[in-house]
Structure 1
């Protein structure tokens, strides 16, 4: 089974621009590159795969980018060069610029980078028009089912979505899968692991070992403060991120907290969404809201994998899940929230959709009281306002959100 991003990468393969795949560690970037390599091999397209964790190869390309040409299997036909972990190059921006400007008729580079932090800092403006960046998040619910070989359940979701009055005999099975997805998230290796204790251990390994590599490579000075900040953000998902408050709690400088937040964002562990406003005086809230990008990682940071209905934080867990659903459906860039100076709030606002959307997440439908949100509805009558609820569970869940 191939991730959905594979199709977009395949479509971009013939393009002149270089292809860059970024995302958190362990999300499947190397697998995608190998899938594309297999496609090239099957189509008779010259290709070569270079893993830059190989120190010998890394030293050669750092010494002189033109050393890459010696690895091309053909001088007659254009070769697709797969570069895994491109952030390890000492100057990936200069490397790609040189190869593109001088040899784009001979070489098409498809590269992966474990962290956008390094790519953003090294891929300077000189690469404008020479590259396209694709972001790979952890799996959405479709990929979650497909990776487990449960395509029949995804087919049932499609049937429900396409038939407004359809009832499903598999609704309870779908709920079990959805709740497992809310608990353990979308890292591919975690999804395909069948043992619950082993899933927890794998998430712990991602939390401790792989994120530690991000910490070390991004120059974080105080690992303990970084982890504590991460845990606080996990426990406060969907809340305003107040740098001053976090600084006081962690006894660190504001600049340090701000830097660590940027590292988390660039490493695809955290997203800070910005406020939406029309009336600056009444609505402007400068602070963003924070959401982790994988629910399994969030639960591992909190060391809480209790079933949904036994959790005190099920409201926060549900809001986190709604955020990921919106991110998967609409992308990260267009998601905002609305909040007035006196604290009235809408969880998610998508002003760029047609029609624009406003969504309030409530785990239980009984908590969805329209009167509380009348100010927004009256102020923005052009918005399609709706509640996102999980309980009571029904087929409508898939029609509205998936």
Structure 2
């Protein structure tokens, strides 16, 4: 089964417009597979370089335009995979796009703390950036109808949606997840020179996994991990830039009772989260089902926005007297509110104080019975 990635067509529309295409994404999400699809459209005048190889790093270890011209030759499309390994990659990409505007450069990176830091200033106004995440429900819907998707929701909550994991069967899913979480996911973080105590990172990850769906306190996380708040904050930033976790801030504008300095932390993929705590139990045996469903829905909505280039502000909302909304999107002056309930019979209503304070808002409850409304599946 071959699943076409949603952002492939978006990237294709941006080719040969004088911009460097930057494709971010965690390891094993399918970046290499995707960029090689681009090569199929230009089989005779394109080039692919794995920048983790020393010989390819040496090829691009300079900004001499004559040497770069010799490197490009007659190529019209150049793929630089895992380009964060190239020293001065930002400056090199700037020279390439300025000197050879008709050549399309596509650079991928599995850690934005390395690549983004190097390209942010040199490529100002010269790039288009995309994020490739694990499979979305919308992408899997290419080969599964809604009935089949609903029947597979329990597997997605247990094993996540990394491409290779979805393709595996039974216990092989667990083997693949353990391999990804052990050997690949933190590779860039552990290689980063400022990470000197990986055991703290592991403790922090387990703490985050156990607090799924709850607000995160830096002081509490620091106590659990046996370190200080500054280190926790820095490691959270690295985990976010390595596409392991993402943050959701609190929404607060008008009400005095609104929590305004808190955040929730979610995992991009639940399979990775479950691998961290080594818990792949069936859902009827789990105490964390509510958190799993909330994380799943928030991450699917994130994929929906990324894959459709919807640039929105996202939040959760809570007051000091415990009124709450799981997820809010703010776009064009409108607020779209969601509550996530795994049990369709659970009662949930739009907090009256919120609807009165923010009349430009809507409210929807998402359960497995109407999961398709989360990402406009048809």
The TM-score normalised by the length of structure 2 is 0.91
Larger displacement relative to structure 2 (16-25 or 50-59)? 50-59
Deviation track 1:285-306 (CA, whole Å, cap 9, x = no partner) reads 2121101000111111121112
Q: Distance in 2 between matches of 1:65 and 1:319?
A: 51
Candidates 81, 86, 107, aligned match of 1:111? 107
1:269-298, Cα deviation, whole Å (9 max, x unpaired): 111111112126432421211010001111
In the alignment, does 2:68 pair up with 1:68? yes
Q: 1:204 aligns with which of 149, 174, 178?
A: 178
Counterpart position of 2:168: 193
Q: d(CA) in 2 for partners of 1:274 and 1:286?
A: 8
Task: Report Cα offsets for 1:339-393 as digits up to 9, x if no partner.
Answer: 223332211011216752111112213322327x222223223211122223xx4
What corresponds to 1:164 in structure 2?
Answer: none
After superposition, residues 1-400 of structure 1 pair within 5 angstroms as 1=2, 2-41=4-43, 46-64=45-63, 66=65, 67-74=67-74, 79-105=76-102, 107-144=103-140, 146=142, 151=143, 153=144, 156-157=145-146, 171=147, 173-194=148-169, 196-219=170-193, 220-279=195-254, 281-331=256-306, 333-352=312-331, 355-370=334-349, 373-390=351-368, 393=369, 396-400=370-374
Q: 1:130 to 1:184 in 2, by over 3 A?
A: same
SS of 2:313's equivalent in the other structure is: coil
- Which whole-Å CA distance do the structure 1 matches of 2:260 and 2:335 have between them? 20
Report the 3-state secondary structure (helix = DSSP H, G, I; strand = E; otherwise coil) of the residue aligned with 1:126: coil
Instruction: Name the structure 2 match of 1:161.
Output: none
Q: Whole-Å Cα distance in 2 between the matches of residues 369 and 254 of structure 1?
A: 35
Whether the 8 Å contact between 1:274 and 1:336 is mirrored in structure 2 is yes
More deviation in 94-103 or 261-270?
94-103
In the TM superposition, what whole-angstrom CA distance separates every residue of 1:297-349 from its partner, at most 9, and x where no partner exists? 11111211122233111111110111022112234852211122333221101
CA deviation after TM superposition for structure 1 residue 217, in Å:
2.3
Cα pair distance change 1:374/1:365, threshold 3 Å: farther
Are the aligned partners of 1:284 and 1:341 in contact in 2 as well (CA < 8 Å)? yes
Aligned-residue offset at 1:49 = 1.2
Q: Structure 1, unaligned stretches of length 5 or more? A: 158-170
Structure ranking higher in helix proportion: 1
CA distances 1:108-150 after superposition (whole Å, capped 9, x unpaired): 211111111112221132311111111111110133355xxxx
CA drift of 1:233 comes to 0.9
- Per the TM alignment, residue 96 of structure 1 is displaced from its structure 2 partner at its CA by 0.9
Q: Equivalents in 2 of 1:61, 1:399: separation in Å? A: 47
Between 1:256-265 and 1:321-330, the stretch displaced more is 321-330
Asked if the contact 2:212/2:295 (under 8 Å) is kept, the reply is yes
Residue 260 of structure 2: SS of its match in structure 1?
A: coil
Q: Report how many aligned residue pairs link the two structures.
A: 368
Q: 1:100 to 1:364 in 2, by over 3 A?
A: same
Residue 52 to residue 330, structure 1, CA distance change in 2 (3 Å): closer
Q: Is the 8 A contact 2:207 2:224 kept in 1?
A: no
Distance 1:174 1:29 in 2: 24
Runs of 5+ consecutive residues of structure 2 not aligned to the other structure: none
In 2 relative to 1, CA 246–347 (structure 1 residues): closer, same or farther, beyond 3 Å?
same
CA distance change for structure 1 residues 400 and 323 in 2, over 3 Å: closer, same or farther? closer
CA contact (8 A) 1:48 1:73 kept: no
- C-alpha separation between the residues in 1 aligned to 2:46 and 2:208? 43
Q: Distance in 2 between matches of 1:65 and 1:307?
A: 58
